[in-house]
Chain A
């Protein structure tokens, strides 16, 4: 005979079954009883953030850094609606996450009760799936399904809405077997399609691999490296793919797209074969779609069939898990196909090297004023790449992607799809929980750090040695850059100049450490000092506000029509599309 336990206790037991250690959350009226069960719990730690958005981003950062499913718990109404940005961020980047929201009792749902919000309705388009639990007897099954859905196939966030009477109600705790007839992701790629792809790779003269976030999610970095090295095919990465292939490898072309390298974009545009691996041809990658890689056949490997042929034509589609598909592909290439590409590949790589020499990734260094790229370069130099880097969104994000060489998967956590300012700092907090021993650095801007700056309290209270490098240009830099280039330097509401707070004092007010560098010569000492201190540190780098992210492809242009640093302005006035 089982003793019946409450829904709140079932929730906790279920989370333990799922191996959850940390929940990022914020209490409130209808989840009081759940928080009561968590009070001083031995195995399950509730990490109190200072905003629900922070909680969800922290769960997201934890998930990206660890590969495990992140968990957040919030109250109903405003608590739930505050999670939406975080959920949408995770959804766009395929991050496994389960968010629990409190809800008013079932009999009050629809009555416009105090702190009621239809969060299931609100999050339907930005979750992979969501549940409203109506009966405590369904709770454990729903939790099990939620974790399964979140972490399998193309991962994504799942929300479970918990009415008060469900968590108060009692039931037997049963951990059920999974049975889902309507959800069966495809993992094994079609063998014939894989052979077709391998044949094309062997025969092509100018192939390029484009690696995306799917490489990292499926843990296929090793298989990808094997593929590239065996076939001598250069690899470029999307923002989400950085770290999926070593950035310092000779076959690496760095990032492609709007702020990609000249040689990556040139190679893609000139290629006769693109092997797209776990990426989805976002508009920031393709530029003008009609003019994208005009001579290339496209092999597209992705676990999500809807990603294939959504934006670009595809010649060989392979639906499946990237790791499994690449494993088979490597086998086919090594066992069934004669190596015949030696000569042609030499010519292709030589051409790419010429492009690399023509326009390498660069910026103009200054002895007087700190260039933001210099800070990122120094971070790379001092950490030797052995750190977890998070970013906010905007120039800070692009400079990080351009000037830090990510050699390993799960070392760059950034909001690629949704482009969420305020993501990086809470994500760094989540990442630090996943890897307490690692150096975690958020590269931020003075604009975006202010979007979740309250999480300083979370970092300090939990004694997290998270470092935040603020590239402080007193502007919303990326928007300002567009205004300079496309809007006649009319800096409409992007100038933060007069009201940028003293970040050193803010850090100190929260009990963290604040450091500042105003000259290039101070950058290295400040970074070294920050890395030495085992505390939360804000570094305020006063950088050149005029600095822009180059190269740049204007929105809506083909990706080989790039603007460079030397050409201060486009000759013809280019029209910005978005």
Chain B
């Protein structure tokens, strides 16, 4: 099963390497990883999406906790939470599809952040399903480039165990 794990770490050089080394050294899989500073610049937060059965996920969270630079590990999948990912997508539609592209972007609350004679660059934010749906609709329009941030996640207030 897929899990989204939030890891609060000391913001020091080498920490990312310790975490990625843990995953590669023990044969765990990273689907996506995003890192950024928190409000406290001495602390960073990593959001890791990984897959594994319960044994593997238990080991992953324990192994992460064991790292000296890790302050807190939260398996978001066990909690009520919000997940978001941002995608930048460059399409070069045929003339007759241009309006359709803008239309779809509008439906998905995407923003056109750049345009040229031949292309539109669209920014879109959402959870996995929304992004998948959007990409599927855009595919026939001629996707030139596609980048994604990886997921970030935050718990909802009044956190309950699922």
A121 at the binding interface (Cβ < 8 Å)? yes
Known contacts A124-B18, A124-B21, A125-B25, A182 near B10 by CB under 8 Å: yes
Give the contacting residue for A120; candidates B14, B65, B69, B71; CB below 8 A.
B14
Task: Please indicate which of the listed interface residues B9, B13, B18, B68 has the most CB atoms of chain A within 10 Å of its own CB.
Answer: B68
Q: Does chain B have a CB within 8 A of A305?
A: yes
From A121, A124, A125, A305, contact of B62 by CB (8 A): A305
**B9 to chain A: closest residue by CB:** A182
Q: Please give me the residue from chain B that is nearest to A309 by CB atom.
A: B58
Across-interface contacts of B63 in A (CB, < 8 A): 306
Given A120-B14, A124-B17, verify A306-B62 contact (CB < 8 Å). Answer: yes
Residue of A182, A183, A309 with most chain B CB atoms under a 10 A cut-off: A182
Residues of A within 8 A of B68 (CB): 128-129, 149, 180, 182-183
Q: Does A304 interact with chain B (Cβ within 8 Å)?
A: yes
User: B55 contacts A181, CB within 8 Å?
Assistant: no
Contact (Cβ within 8 A) B14 A124: yes
Of listed A121, A125, A129, A149, residue having the most chain B CB within 10 A: A125
For the complex, give the distance between the alpha carbons of A132 and B21 in Å. 17
Please tell me if the beta carbons of B25 and A309 are within 8 angstroms of each other in the complex: no
Within 8 A of A (CB), among B48-90: 55, 58-59, 62-63, 65-66, 68-71
Digitize A180-195: 1 where CB-to-B-CB distance is under 8 Å, 0 elsewhere.
Answer: 1111000000000000
Contact A125/B21 with A306-B62, A309-B58 known, Cβ cut-off 8 Å: yes
Q: Does A16 contact B (CB under 8 A)?
A: no
Residues B15-40 near A (CB distance < 8 A)? 17-18, 21, 25
Shortest C-beta distance, A179 to chain B (Å), equals: 12
* A120–B21 alpha-carbon span in the complex (Å): 13
Q: Is A310 an interface residue (CB 8 A)?
A: yes
Q: Are B71 and A181 in contact (CB under 8 A)?
A: yes
A132 to B15, CA, bound (A): 12
- Contact between chains at B17 and A306 (CB < 8 Å): no
Taking a contact as CB atoms under 8 Å apart, the answer to whether A182 and B21 are in contact is no
For A310, the chain B residues whose CB sits under 8 A away are 59
Query: A182-B10, A182-B70 known; A305 and B65 CB under 8 Å?
Result: yes
Expressed in whole angstroms, the Cα–Cα distance for A181 and B69 within the complex equals: 9
**When chains A and B are docked, how far (Å) is the Cα of A310 from the Cα of B9?**
24
Measured between alpha carbons, how far is A309 from B53 in the docked complex, in Å? 13
- Chain A proximity of B93: nearest CB distance (Å): 45
CB distance from A123 to the nearest CB of B (A): 11
Q: Is there contact, CB below 8 Å, between A121 and B17?
A: yes
Write out the residue numbers on chain A whose beta carbons fall within 8 Å of the beta carbon of B25. Answer: 125
- Shortest Cβ gap from B74 to chain A (Å): 14
| A residues near B14, Cβ cutoff 8 Å | 120, 124, 132
Least distance between A183 CB and chain B CB atoms (Å): 5
Q: Which of B14, B55, B69, B70 has the most CB of A within 10 A?
A: B14
Q: How far is the CA of A306 from the CA of B63 in the complex (A)?
A: 6
- How many Å lie between the Cα of A126 and that of B3 in the bound state? 27
Bound-state CA distance A121–B9 (Å) is 18
Q: Which residues of chain A from 91 to 131 have any CB-CB distance to chain B below 8 Å in the complex?
A: 120-121, 124-125, 128-129
Residues 478-504 of chain A: 1 if any B CB is under 8 Å from the residue's CB, otherwise 0?
000000000000000000000000000
**Per-position binary interface string of chain A over residues 456-484, scored 1 when its CB falls under 8 Å from any chain B CB and 0 otherwise:** 00000000000000000000000000000
- Bound form: Cα–Cα A125–B69 in Å: 14
Contacts of A125 in B (CB 8 A): 21, 25
Residue of B with least CB distance to A305: B62
Contact B59 A306 (CB under 8 A): yes
Residue of B nearest to A134 (CB): B13
B70 contacts A309, C-beta separation under 8 Å: no
Docked CA distance A128–B66 (Å)? 9
Q: Which of A301-341 contact B (CB under 8 A)?
A: 304-306, 309-310
A310–B58 alpha-carbon span in the complex (Å): 9
Q: Which of A276-322 contact B (CB under 8 A)?
A: 304-306, 309-310
Residue contact B70 to A306, C-beta cutoff 8 Å: no
Q: Scoring A residues 17 to 41 as 1 if CB is less than 8 Å from chain B, else 0, what string do you get? A: 0000000000000000000000000
Instruction: Determine which residue in A132, A149, A181 has the highest number of CB atoms from chain B within 10 A of its CB, and name it.
Output: A181
Chain A contacts for B58, CB-based, 8 A:
309
Contact flags B94-123 to A (C-beta < 8 A → 1, else 0): 000000000000000000000000000000
The closest CB in chain A to the CB of B69 belongs to A182
Residues of B within 8 A of A180 (CB): 68
- List of A residues within 8 angstroms of B18 by Cβ: 124
| Interchain nearest-CB distance for B40 vs A (Å) | 11
- What is the chain B residue whose CB lies nearest that of A313? B55
Contact pick for A306, options B10, B55, B66, CB 8 Å? B66
Q: Distance (Å) between the CB of A157 and the closest chain B CB?
A: 13
The chain B residue sitting closest to A158, CB to CB, is: B68
Residues of A374-415 at the interface with B, using a CB-CB cut-off of 8 Å, are none
Q: A53 vs B113: C-alpha distance in the bound complex, in angstroms?
A: 58
User: Which residues of B are at the interface with A, using a C-beta cutoff of 8 A?
Assistant: 9-10, 13-14, 17-18, 21, 25, 55, 58-59, 62-63, 65-66, 68-71
Give the 5 A-B CB pairs with smallest separation, nearest first. A306-B62, A182-B71, A129-B68, A305-B62, A183-B68
A to B CB contacts below 8 Å, 25 in the list: A120-B14, A121-B17, A124-B14, A124-B17, A125-B25, A129-B68, A132-B13, A132-B14, A180-B68, A181-B71, A182-B9, A182-B10, A182-B68, A182-B69, A182-B70, A182-B71, A183-B68, A305-B62, A305-B65, A305-B66, A306-B63, A306-B66, A309-B55, A309-B58, A309-B59
Given A124-B21, A305-B62; 10 other pairs, CB 8 A cutoff = A129-B68, A132-B13, A149-B68, A181-B71, A182-B69, A183-B68, A305-B65, A305-B66, A306-B59, A309-B58
